[in-house]
Chain A
Amino acid sequence: MSSVLFDHPGPKARARHKVIAAASAVVTVGALWWALAQFKEKGNLDAAKWTPFLTADLWVNYLIPGLLNTLAAAAASIVLAGAFGLAFGMGRLSHVTAVRWVSTVIVEFFRSVPVLVMMFFAFYVFAFNNVFRSDLNSLAAVVTGLTLYNGSVVAELLRSGVGSLPRGQTEAGLSIGLTRGQTLRSVLLPQAVTAMLPALVGQLVVILKDTALGYLILYQELLNKFQQIGSYKSNPVPALVVIAAIFVVINYALTSLASYLERRTRNRGRATIPRGALGPAPVDTEPIADALVLADEEVLQERYRVPGRAHE
């Protein structure tokens, strides 16, 4: 409980904390009570609006197919974004200037355009040119948008992961006679991927959440099912709450897995890219590189007891 901001509480402070806790509990419960009362007034808490979710009908015909579509779009995007990220991440590390520049422009561009804009664009390009069977257009558009954005994030993670490894790794690889490409593939990438792993799992949450954008191009994913359920059982609000709960449970599990991986990697004395650096945002590589150097410095200090030399 102790933090950098506060001292350990003494008896007076503990009494004060109890008063604050009690007062804020009253406020919190009161606010929740008021909100629930508003929704109750409109009949949202009626048993009839919630019991359908206890029947197999809603799950088998609506929620599970929706969830499967969500997972299908997410899975396809993960695989493609991984390939995209690997290609352009290595492109940004290339020693051929032209390749590096092209990769940089592509990655930076797709990171700064909203996913939704890319989805709309892909949707209309596919639709007007009959690229896919018409019922596959929205899936293809969702996957395209997610791949381009998340692939760029993965490329960025890869680059910063490799860039922040101790320089001795590259030197060692080159000095035992590996080519630059071999050093990258067999020495640097495996270490970078280990460091990236928690951040990559965190990115899965971003992908899974962003599949819900498919709602706007009528992809039949989980969020879209609320309209069908809502008009079938006339309970749109409970349907949204249940769907939100499904998203939260899955994503919370993934977030917990990411923190576990981060802890485990760190406990093994390796650097990680902190998940916080990702947030909802395009990754800014410099703080990640900083964080890696910081983490690395700690590791090095622990291991070799050579303070202050890790930045070399």
Chain B
Amino acid sequence: MGELFATYNILGAFGLTILLTVSSAVGSLVIGTVVAIMRVSPVRFLNRVGAFYVNVVRNTPLTLIIVFCNIGFIVNLGMSFTDNIARNNIIWAIIGLSFYHAAFVCEALRSGVNTVPAGQAEAARSIGLTFGQSLTEVLLPQAFRGAITPLGNTLIALTKNTTVATAIGVAEISGLMKEMMEFRPDVIVVIFLIVALGFVILTLPIGLVTTHLSSKLAVKR
């Protein structure tokens, strides 16, 4: 097993997985928040645009989106951020992952808003809070707490979904695992267990933290 770690840069590949996860998490949080604002806004046109985005992206396979980033944007349009091909692929993988998971972030935030009972808004208004005050003091704090668990679930899914980036040649862990399995069929089970354990280590804390947070911050109703 030590020899596997010596021959192959397993930790480096996991490092790239973490890089993809963190950058896409930030990206999808930004895009998802914008789409969520559109979906809950009182402007009907924005609702429609937001709903269209979510329905299209949520129902498209992530593999297809990642492949499209390569075929459509890199190959066909020749869009590149850097001359370094490997780095360019990483950037496009992050873009694809961000836009895909943004749809789920949006739905997570929206479900958080939906956990707030209408009575809270009515109560806030009836004690004389302005629109801005009721939003920032009463509604959004509760909505955020309701969104913690679905956001955590989305982050766990994102961590696992970074493996799809191997479709456009990003050298993250699943691509390395494939390579190792091809060259070392004798220790195939060990390789699988190392990679699987790595993902358990990455995703388990996220689940524990969000479960802890959501029960600690739960709004008792």
Q: Does A248 contact B (CB under 8 A)?
A: yes
Q: Does B154 contact A (CB under 8 A)?
A: yes
Interface size on A, residues (CB 8 A): 62
The answer to whether B67 touches A223, judged by C-beta atoms less than 8 angstroms apart, is yes
Q: Does B49 contact A (CB under 8 A)?
A: yes
Main secondary structure of the interface of B (DSSP, over half): helix
Tell me, rounded to whole Å, the shortest Cβ–Cβ distance linking A160 to chain B. Answer: 13
The answer to whether B49 touches A282, judged by C-beta atoms less than 8 angstroms apart, is no
Segment at the interface with A among B6-14, B85-93, B204-212:
B204-212
Q: Which of B42, B46, B64, B188 contacts A24 (CB 8 A)?
A: B46
Q: Which of A4, A42, A279 contacts B118 (CB 8 A)?
A: A4
Q: Does B120 contact A (CB under 8 A)?
A: yes
Tell me, rounded to whole Å, the shortest Cβ–Cβ distance linking A31 to chain B. Answer: 11
Question: For residue B150, which residues in chain A have a CB less than 8 angstroms away from its CB?
Answer: 276-277, 279, 281, 287
A128-B108 CB under 8 A given contacts A39-B77, A248-B59: no
Output the nearest chain B residue to A213 by Cβ-Cβ distance: B63
Chain A stretch 1-44: residues in CB contact (< 8 A) with chain B: 1, 3-7, 9, 13, 17, 20-21, 24-25, 28, 38-39, 42, 44
The answer to whether B174 touches A120, judged by C-beta atoms less than 8 angstroms apart, is yes
Question: For residue A216, which residues in chain B have a CB less than 8 angstroms away from its CB?
Answer: 63, 164, 166-167
Q: Which of A215, A237, A240, A284 contacts B167 (CB 8 A)?
A: A215
Give the interface residue-count category, chain B: 35 or more
The answer to whether A120 touches B181, judged by C-beta atoms less than 8 angstroms apart, is yes
Name 23 interchain pairs, CB-CB below 8 A, sorted by A: A4-B121, A5-B40, A5-B113, A5-B121, A5-B139, A21-B44, A112-B160, A114-B161, A115-B160, A116-B174, A120-B177, A213-B63, A215-B67, A226-B67, A240-B68, A240-B71, A243-B64, A244-B68, A247-B60, A247-B61, A251-B58, A279-B153, A279-B157
Q: Which of A24, A39, A125, A286 contacts B215 (CB 8 A)?
A: A286
Contact with A along B180-217 (1 / 0, CB 8 A): 01100100100010011001100110010011001100
The answer to whether B174 touches A117, judged by C-beta atoms less than 8 angstroms apart, is yes
Question: For residue A280, which residues in chain B have a CB less than 8 angstroms away from its CB?
Answer: 101, 104, 153-154, 157, 161
Question: For residue B154, which residues in chain A have a CB less than 8 angstroms away from its CB?
Answer: 279-281
Q: Does A109 contact B (CB under 8 A)?
A: yes
Q: Does A113 contact B (CB under 8 A)?
A: yes
Q: Does B22 contact A (CB under 8 A)?
A: no
The answer to whether B181 touches A121, judged by C-beta atoms less than 8 angstroms apart, is yes
Q: Does A209 contact B (CB under 8 A)?
A: yes
Contact with A along B18-58 (1 / 0, CB 8 A): 00000000000000000000001111111001000001101
